[in-house]
């Protein structure tokens, strides 16, 4: 990701050095000149008053341009009072499939995002073997590898640049399906081969989200093996750690161990303590990362600057109830006896399971973001507490019924205010 970001800056600066002041002499006419803006080039330097010249899709000059050349530009934008800067890179998106539906990506472009990084635990490829060849939004899956997915994106046309990680769980599903067992040696080799192929197709590294099955089935040793496969390509190990509640220090330790043993850099995603009962321990977490860095491990973390996180109501289902995959989980949610057992575990917790319900301490802070069925549309933007009141159900039943109606997936936003503290000044967080 930093590679991609550096690329943008280097591109601008390099082209500026090559062309500044000389393009006019070569008889080139600028397609676009942005004048009177304050240029922030992303290098960390302060803003400068400068013009920016563009030919085709490339910046060819930054600085004081020849007035004659400026005058002949095909288009001039007056950016007085505005900042001119390289496009933003959204380093963590889930646009893998939405970009196939609408490649114009207006929701990103209009915020200034010109590069999206995809494949944040589940990637669009590989999609083959035991993995079900299906995709949301009624998309027809006509690709098997990450490379073929990129080609499909290009064929459809997209307005943003993209990069993607390859998901550890993606390759696991291709070889093992939804089974929770250990892979055999040949299966492990097949998974590594899939990671290698994805890296050859241009993946940025290996990603994983260890909070939710079947991601949770990866052992540390398996993660080290899979992460080793990205090393020859200079890839990164990108991890949603195993828990953001009790045991977070161990989870951070695991991420650092994978990086150390696989000899790859690691980035810890969304660094935070989500369980409000544990707030105050952030210093320990940061010290662990700092300590690793001082031992030579290339460890970094990123964070979001807001006080809620997007997840899915399915994360409220305990791991045992997800065993065997999607359909089996839905069957358990429909079965009254199993449903009560799920509810009991949700309220009481299970040792070793990061329980979002206990972490967010209450249903008021858990809001349904989107649904697929018309019947449930009225619940979008409402908290589980409100939905329970409106439907006359107990909150847990409201959640489980929604999951059943929505085929096991209900994107939701949960509040965990306060978690941002203590990290802002760290040099190793993005
Ligand atoms: Zn994430």
Instruction: Report, as an integer, the average pLDDT of 392-396.
Output: 95
Instruction: Report, as an integer, the average pLDDT of 257-277.
Output: 93
Measured in angstroms, how far is the CA atom of residue 396 from the centroid of ligand 1? 25
Q: Is the pLDDT of residue 350 over 80?
A: yes
Q: Is the pLDDT of residue 202 over 90?
A: yes
Measured in angstroms, how far is the CA atom of residue 235 from the centroid of ligand 1? 18
pLDDT (0 to 100) of residue 353 = 83
Q: Is the pLDDT of residue 197 over 80?
A: yes
Measured in angstroms, how far is the CA atom of residue 272 from the centroid of ligand 1? 12
Instruction: Report, as an integer, the average pLDDT of 50-63.
Output: 92
Instruction: Report, as an integer, the average pLDDT of 4-11.
Output: 35
Measured in angstroms, how far is the CA atom of residue 61 from the centroid of ligand 1? 37
Measured in angstroms, how far is the CA atom of residue 238 from the centroid of ligand 1? 10
CATH of the structural domain 2-86, one choice from 2.30.40.10, 3.50.50.60, 3.40.50.1370, 3.30.365.10:
2.30.40.10
Instruction: Report, as an integer, the average pLDDT of 11-21.
Output: 38
Instruction: Report, as an integer, the average pLDDT of 263-282.
Output: 89
Measured in angstroms, how far is the CA atom of residue 157 from the centroid of ligand 1? 26
Task: Give the pLDDT band (50/70/90) at residue 53.
Answer: very high
In the predicted model, what is the mean pLDDT of the chain?
88
pLDDT (0 to 100) of residue 329 = 94
Maximum separation of any 2 CA atoms in the chain, in Å: 80
Q: Is the pLDDT of residue 405 over 80?
A: yes
Measured in angstroms, how far is the CA atom of residue 243 from the centroid of ligand 1? 13
Question: By percentage, how much of the chain surpasses pLDDT 70?
Answer: 90
pLDDT tens-digit map of 97-119: 999 999 999 999 999 999 999 99
Instruction: Report, as an integer, the average pLDDT of 338-361.
Output: 86
Measured in angstroms, how far is the CA atom of residue 421 from the centroid of ligand 1? 19
Instruction: Report, as an integer, the average pLDDT of 231-238.
Output: 98
pLDDT (0 to 100) of residue 25 = 41
pLDDT (0 to 100) of residue 416 = 61
Measured in angstroms, how far is the CA atom of residue 92 from the centroid of ligand 1? 7
Q: Is the pLDDT of residue 422 over 70?
A: no
Pairing of strands 411-415, 366-368: antiparallel
Domain with CATH 3.20.20.140 in the chain: 89-240
Measured in angstroms, how far is the CA atom of residue 21 from the centroid of ligand 1? 44
Q: Which residue has the higher pLDDT, 359 or 229?
A: 229
Measured in angstroms, how far is the CA atom of residue 166 from the centroid of ligand 1? 14
Q: In the CATH scheme, what is the homologous superfamily, with its name and number, of domain 89-240?
A: Metal-dependent hydrolases (3.20.20.140)
pLDDT (0 to 100) of residue 16 = 39
Measured in angstroms, how far is the CA atom of residue 120 from the centroid of ligand 1? 6
pLDDT tens-digit map of 283-326: 999 999 999 999 999 999 998 877 777 788 998 999 899 888 88
Q: Is the pLDDT of residue 207 over 80?
A: yes
Domain with CATH 2.30.40.10 in the chain: 2-86
């Amino acid at each position: 990701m930093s590679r991609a970001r550096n690329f943008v800056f280097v591109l601008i600066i390099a082209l500026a050095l090559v062309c500044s002041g000389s393009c006019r002499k070569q008889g080139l006419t600028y397609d676009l000149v942005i004048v009177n803006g304050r240029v922030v080039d992303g290098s960390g330097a302060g803003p400068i008053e400068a013009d920016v010249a563009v030919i085709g899709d490339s910046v060819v000059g930054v600085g004081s341009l020849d007035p004659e050349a400026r005058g002949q530009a095909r288009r001039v934008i007056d950016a007085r009072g505005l900042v001119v800067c390289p496009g933003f890179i959204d380093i963590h998106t889930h646009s893998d499939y939405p970009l196939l539906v609408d490649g114009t990506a207006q929701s990103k472009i209009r915020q200034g995002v010109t590069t999206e990084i995809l494949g944040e635990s589940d990637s669009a490829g590989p999609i083959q073997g035991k993995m079900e060849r299906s995709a949301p939004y009624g998309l027809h899956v006509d690709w098997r590898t990450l490379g073929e997915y990129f080609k499909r994106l290009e064929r459809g046309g997209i307005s943003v640049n993209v990069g993607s990680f390859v998901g550890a769980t993606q390759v696991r599903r291709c070889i093992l399906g939804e089974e929770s067992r250990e892979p055999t040696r040949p299966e492990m080799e097949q998974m590594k081969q899939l990671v290698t192929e994805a890296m050859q197709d241009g993946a940025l590294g290996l990603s994983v989200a260890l909070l939710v099955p079947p991601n949770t089935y990866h052992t540390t040793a398996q993660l080290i093996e899979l992460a080793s496969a990205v090393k020859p390509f200079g890839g990164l190990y990108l991890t949603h750690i195993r828990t953001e509640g009790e045991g977070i220090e161990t989870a951070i330790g695991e991420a650092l161990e994978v990086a150390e043993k696989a000899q790859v850099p690691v980035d810890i995603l969304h660094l935070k303590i989500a369980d409000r009962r544990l707030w105050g321990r952030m210093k320990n977490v940061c010290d662990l990362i700092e300590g690793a860095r001082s031992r030579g491990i290339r460890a970094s973390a990123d964070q979001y600057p807001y006080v809620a996180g997007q997840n899915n109501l399915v994360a409220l289902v305990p791991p045992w109830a997800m065993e065997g995959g999607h359909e089996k989980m839905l069957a358990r949610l429909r079965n009254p006896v199993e449903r009560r057992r799920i509810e009991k575990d949700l309220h009481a917790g299970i040792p070793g399971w990061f329980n979002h319900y206990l972490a967010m301490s209450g249903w008021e802070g858990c809001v349904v973001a989107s649904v697929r069925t018309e019947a449930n549309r009225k619940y979008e933007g409402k908290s589980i507490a409100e939905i329970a009141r409106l439907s006359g159900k107990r909150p847990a039943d409201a959640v489980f019924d929604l999951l059943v109606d929505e085929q096991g997936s209900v994107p939701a936003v949960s509040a965990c205010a306060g978690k941002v503290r203590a990290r802002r000044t760290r040099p190793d967080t993005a």
